[in-house]
Every structure is written in structure tokens, then in C-alpha cells.
Structure 1
Amino acid sequence: MIDTAAVAQIVDDAAHTAQAIGQLSETGYALTLAEAYEVQAWSMARRVDRGEKIIGVKMGFTSKAKMVQMGVADLIWGRLTDAMLLEDGGELNLSNYVHPRIEPEIVFRLSKPLTGEVTLLEAMAAVDAIAPAMEVIDSRYENFKFSLEDVVADNSSSSGLVIGAWQSVPEDISNLGIAMEFNGKPVQVGSSAAIMGNPYRSLVAAARLAAEAGMVLEKGWVVMAGAATAAEALMPGVHVRMVAEKLGCVEITVNGE
């Protein structure tokens, strides 16, 4: 039996020091998916012990194409902490990451707890605000190579998030145009429809998966619905701006060598 707490220390140390490690699945830790989520939980508990606070969750594999690519039939998820928050209009320091990438997202803020099997209408009723956002993903594995279990153990690659101004929820968010720019030039263009056909379906899944892990999505938490396009690698000096129809924009500048 694998000591998931010990594996969590390996993963957490890699994230905390921004050092790449070999794939767990190729270095003697062939985790099951359930064990991978245990590693994630232990790893994030170490962050909480250092003073970080859980502020929500992120969803991954929210497109059918990504599910097929990874050979899975369900979404994955990770935990978000206050230390992962980046300031809208601020700077991202590359020295804090191994090989970071960024992707455009939509984020929900919850007005009440949400957990278990909920309907689309129940999920919608639990949202009091929505915002444009970008997630910084940063696998700690060498060469950005990993198995499904590896990525889940590594908090589903979630490393940072920048959230734009909170907005009243539009009547329909199922097909909002989204664009992400590097230094004013579009690098990714897509639609919120890429997020399970409707981002609220991702929130429904988040409630279900949280309950399976014995968690509740708490009032005031944020839920990152999933990427609307592919991710882009970050480089020094790049100004990243994401614009979402009806929601406005969010931006950040990359510094570091």
C-alpha cells in the first residue's frame, strides 16, 4: 500500500520550491485515481497548515475532446487557496513556477453552500456573481509529462488564478465569446460553450465530486468552471489579457527571467 501522505510531501515540496520532479507513475508510485485524490488532499492540507486558506475549487477536463484525449469519462478537480490568487492588472513572477501556462476561464462565486446531486437550476440559484478569469496551470513534472493520476495528485495542475471584476449573472452564459491576447495579439479565441456546452454543468459536476470527497462547496467560495480554450505557455515580459462577452476583461503581466 502506498503512503499517500509521504507522496504528498514530495508533490508539495516540488510546488513550494518550484522544482520539477519525475512522474510519480514512473518513480515507484503507481497511484490509483482514489489514491491520487488522497495525495492531493494531503498536499493541500500541508498548505493550510502553513497558513493558506481554501477559497474554492477548479474543474478540469471540461471538454469532450480533452476527456477523449486523456481516456477518461469524468471531470477532474483541484483545490484553490488564497495564496494562489494573483491581482488583476498585477504581475506574475515566473520564478514561482516550473513551466507555467495560462488559460481563459469563467469563475462563479457562491451565495450559499452547494453539494451532492444538484440540478442545473439549483446550481444557477447558488451563484451570486460571475467574472472573467484566467488560471495558471503548472505541472510540477519534468517535461510537462504526466498520467491522469499524476496530474490529479499535483492538484490537477492548478497553481494560480487571476479574477476580473465580479458581475451580475447574465441570463444566458452558454455561448459567450472569449479571447485571450498576448501583448495585444489574440492567441486563443473560443466560447464558453466549450465548457461542457454550458459552464453551469461544470458547477453541477463540482458539487457532485465535492460530495464524493466528503466536501461542501462553501458560501463565498469560487468555482473555476474550466478552460474555454487551450492553454498558452507564459514567457517573460508578456502582457496577458482575456476578454469575455458580457463579462469584461482580466489581465496580468509576466515578469522574471
Structure 2
Amino acid sequence: MTNQQAQTMKLAEVVDSAASSAQAIPQLSHDYPQLNVAQAYQIQTASLEHRLARGEKLVGIKMGFTSRAKMVQMGVDDLIWGRLTDKMQLVEGGTTSMSRFIHPRIEPEIAFRLKKNIKGYINLSQAMEAVDGIAPAMEIIDSRYTNFNFSLPDVIADNSSSSGFVLGQWHSPNVDISNQAMIMEFNGRAVQIGSSSAILGNPYRSLVEAARLAAESGLCLEAGHTVLAGAATAAHPLAAGDHVCLHTGTLGKVEITLEADND
């Protein structure tokens, strides 16, 4: 094992421990300024292996930086992605505990369910042909870094901040999702209003990019997997007791409640 491989395994354990214990850690790049995107994805992969060893199952991937404005803000020219496991999926309409998060935020998304494997460079038509279901979704992002501060390699190593997700009802892939209204309410009050067109102009473009990025890491997006296409609005901070509901144009709604404080 090379020094970099040993370092990658060590940092994967650090990130995995932070995620499983919901304890914030300093940015990896502070102590390892040479950390780059390639090694960050290796750390993400190694961290996932710890989860799989504990019995979790890989169920899909999430896309990040699917807004051009977000790319500019982060000073990057490509999207990022992370893994989804079955333990990360929350019950739609149910309640989840704040204790599993550090400083969570939630964002409205579109989810795809794949009916066949896709990998590498595909076009928009091929992406659409690979889908057998579309659902409204919300993703809880929760950077494990202190004060939600991170560099690009930091966030990638931390599974691109993905911490939980909730899916609404699946619909036919024939539903037009190019410009779905996306209204996210907290306790009955709209806090984020946007459109699915904010996701690369069309969420299916995110699926095209997902196939490319996964292939660059030697992975295939498999039939049955869920792909979260990316945020349609800015993420909104969550607090104990919040009831969050996403209303869409024709895909219906999806909701989740954070347990209230017992204090």
C-alpha cells in the first residue's frame, strides 16, 4: 500500500465516523492541503465501503452543483456526485430525528428510477429511455465539517454532503419535468420557490451527466437505482419540529417532519 492509499483509508475512516456519529470534524484540506478531487472521490468510495460492510445497500446516486450559479459560486466547472444508501432513505410523510444530523439543510429535487443500466456518454434521448419512474424528492444535505465550511475536495470526500432523502409517489416518465413548479414549505409557509428548469435547464441533463461521472469512477448506474437530479432552489436550514412539504406542478407533493425538541 502506498502512502497516499494509506492516507485515503485513514481519511475515509475519519469521514465515516463523523457521518455515523453526527459529530463535526475540521476540514480535511486544512491538514492535507494537497488533497485533490481524484483522491476525494477515492475517500468517498472507501467511506462507502465502511457503510456497506455494516449492511447498508447502495441504491443510487445524488448529483450536486447542477445550478450554473452554484458552479460559479464554488469556482468549479463540473458537477459533483455522491452515493445513496438504503439507510439514507427516509419515510415519506414520516418523522425523522434531528440527532442523526449536525447542521442539516433540505432542498427540493426531482428523482429518477432507472429501468436499465446506463454508463458513460449518453445523449438526452438515451437518458429518457432509461427511466421508468419520476418522483418529487427532497434531499437533506449535512456537511460533516465544522460550520459547514469546506473546499471542493472536502465536500466530495464527505459524500457530497448527502445525508438523507425522501421520495414522493412515482409517476410515468412521460410527465413533462422540464419546467415543474417547485414550492417548498416549512410549517405551511413557502420558503423556497423555483422550477425544475433550474436543474441544468432540464433535469434529464443531470442524468446524462450522472452516467458520465459515474463511468469516470468505473461505475455503472444500475436498473432499479434512484438518481437525484440536483436542487431546484437553494437549500434551506432545518430545525427540530419543522414540517417540510414540497409541492410540484404535476408530480404531487412529498413531505417529512423533524422531531420536535423534548426540552
The two structures have a TM-score, normalised by structure 2, of 0.96
Give the letter for the 1:250 counterpart. Answer: V
Partner of 2:140: 136
Paired residue for 2:225? Answer: 221
Q: Is the 8 A contact 1:170 1:246 kept in 2?
A: no
Q: Is the 8 A contact 2:242 2:260 kept in 1?
A: no
Q: Which amino acid aligns with 2:135?
A: A
Counterpart amino acid of residue 91 in structure 1:
T
**Displacement of 1:169:** 2.0
Q: Is the 8 A contact 1:179 1:243 kept in 2?
A: yes
**1:66 matched to 2:75:** no
1:126 aligned partner: 130
Q: How does 1:173-184 map to 2 (within 5 A)?
A: 173-184=177-188
Shift of 1:170: 3.5
Cα distance in 2 between the residues matched to 1:173 and 1:103: 17
Deviation of residue 188 (structure 1)? Answer: 0.2
1:125-204 map, 5 Å: 125-204=129-208
Distance 2:246 2:179 in 1: 16
Runs of 5+ in structure 2 lacking a partner?
none
**Does residue 81 in structure 1 map to residue 75 in structure 2?**
no
Q: Secondary structure at the match of 2:38?
A: helix
Identity between Structure 1 and Structure 2 (%): 60
Which stretches in structure 1 are left out of the alignment for 5+ residues? none
Could you tell me which amino acid in structure 1 is paired with residue 121 of structure 2?
Answer: E
Name the counterpart of 2:11.
7
Please give the alpha-carbon distance, in whole angstroms, between the structure 2 residues aligned to 1:194 and 1:177.
10
State how many pairs are aligned: 257
For 1:89-104, list aligned pairs within 5 A: 89-104=93-108
Which position in structure 2 is the counterpart of 1:230? 234
SS of equivalent residue, structure 2 residue 164: strand
Instruction: Give the aligned partner of residue 42 of structure 2.
Output: 38
Q: How far did 1:28 drift?
A: 3.1
Alpha-carbon distance in 2 for matches of 1:120, 1:244? 23
Distance 1:166 1:21 in 2: 37
Alignment RMSD = 0.9
Amino acid aligned to 1:82: D
